[in-house]
Amino acid sequence: MDATDLCYLSAVEQKALLDRSEVSVVELVDAQIDRIEKHNPHLNAFVTPRYEEARKDAAAADAARANGTARGVLHGLTVGVKDCFATKGLRTTFATKAFENHVPDYDHLVVQREKAQGAIILGKLNTPEYTMASNLCDNPVFGKTRSPYGRDRAPGASSGGSAAALAAGLCSLADGSDIGGSVRNPAAWNNIVGHRPTSWMIPDVPNPLMWHNMNTAGPMARTVADAALFLSALAGPDPRCPVVVSAPFAPGLPDLSIDMKGLRIGWACDHGSLAIEPDVASNFEAQKAVFEDLGAIVEVCNIDLGDIGGAYSTLAYQRVSREVEPAVGRGLDAGLEAQYHATRASTGADLMDAETRRHRLWNDVALAFANHDVLVWPDDPCDPFAYNDEETSQALDWTLLLVSPMLGLPTTTLPCGFSISGSPRGLQVLGRPGMDLLTLQVSHAYEQATQFGQKRPDLD
């Protein structure tokens, strides 16, 4: 098999080849490392490599499979780790100068579970400083990441390195984190799949604000099936997390087949008030026919989202400010430092107002789910901007992405077409808390009907 084709196979397909001994883990890892060395200088997705160690791990994985001791649903697959997740013995900078040379002596729970399920870590992936400083996937330690779908375009944030690496075929899977859209925005802009799970389904351990439920790790992949397989490896309770949310299915690939006949979809583009670029809106509205052809009942379901941004910021920055605290006064991004001090000055009335708005939003969404099985919205209001266009990036309206973290909703983002210039677009499927399997099943049905994710970027 051609090395490029091997690298672009889905993780599920790669795993099948490994299990049948048609490809060795060493061959897969070598092909991906060669591809990283060829394309990463232009993309800047991988920022801290782990190539020689990965090759040793690959040889050990082949030996384990040969002697019958292979373990874990990810055995022999490679993972790129976002540089916000601590990796024992491997530099973790959080993309900030204050931790530029930091080497942790522990793994984040996400990394622990990846390793426990047999994955091979290829290296660390780029992200903005503390994941929140820039919508350009830029930071003072490693600089900017560019999109495989156009080196002049930004890959989205904050898991832009993860999305770019997957879109370029540099790894089998990549993890991301999402406190306001950071798994889903890059997935949409790189023609891949990102799943934000129900809050606490993947425990955030360690966590400086353990009861704060808005930030979560999430699987990123080239297909819905890959994302489901990856989620099965990451999900489930941990004794260090005070909130228990069960895994949505057993480890391994779940049954993603679903009869869409009669499934009720709440459909909304701009919710009556959001500024969606006309061509983005037109592309999204055209997807309604796909769901209807699958047998779903699609009905307009607008929810007032016009004023949730302020409440989101008040709530989200409780966590972000605690996270950045060790870097305050040590060269931290000026915007993050200002936000840290503003959050410290927040009053009880500020928090009460934000929680009141969140409660009202929950009531509206709960009513929508009383009449619909899932909600389907555009992912983003616009197409990717230039990789160095800071002004436009700061003006990006994240409203459509904020509802899921505010309410803990499982949400799958997947490809839904392209602009005239070839920029990928995505839509998101939102479900009730705990209904991760349903959002993945609906997404899988749409994916199979459209095949948008099969298009590769023009790199080779």
Task: Report pLDDT digits (tens) over 233-256.
Answer: 999 999 999 999 999 999 999 999
- Catalytic annotation, pick one of 147, 172, 182, 443: 182
Average of per-residue pLDDT values in the chain? 98
Is the confidence at residue 66, as pLDDT, over 90? yes
- Confidence class of residue 286 from pLDDT cuts 50, 70 and 90? very high
Does 353 score more than 90 pLDDT?
A: yes
- pLDDT beyond 90 at 361: yes
What's residue 212's pLDDT?
93
Mean of pLDDT values over 407-431: 98
User: Which residue among the candidates 82, 115, 124, 144 is catalytic per the annotation?
Assistant: 82
158 is catalytic: yes
In the set 10, 147, 158, 232, the catalytic residue is 158
* Average pLDDT score over residue span 420-434: 98
Q: Percentage helix, strand, coil, to 5, in the chain?
A: 40, 15, 45
pLDDT value of position 360: 98
| Rg of the chain in Å (alpha carbons) | 21
What pLDDT does 1 receive?
84
Q: What is the pLDDT of residue 419?
A: 98
Region 410-416: mean pLDDT is 99
Catalytic site residue 182?
yes
pLDDT of 333 above 90: yes
Q: Is the pLDDT assigned to residue 460 strictly greater than 90?
A: no
Active site residue 97: no
Q: Which pLDDT tens digit goes with each residue over 136-155?
A: 999 999 999 999 999 999 99
Query: Which structural domains are found in the chain, ordered by start?
Result: 3-454 (3.90.1300.10)
Q: Which residues of 251-276 are buried (b: 16+ CB within 10 A; e: fewer)?
A: bebbebebebeebebbbbbbbeebeb
> Percentage of the chain surpassing pLDDT 90?
98
pLDDT of residue 123: 98
The stretch 346-358 carries a mean pLDDT of 98
- Over residues 205-214, the mean pLDDT reads 92
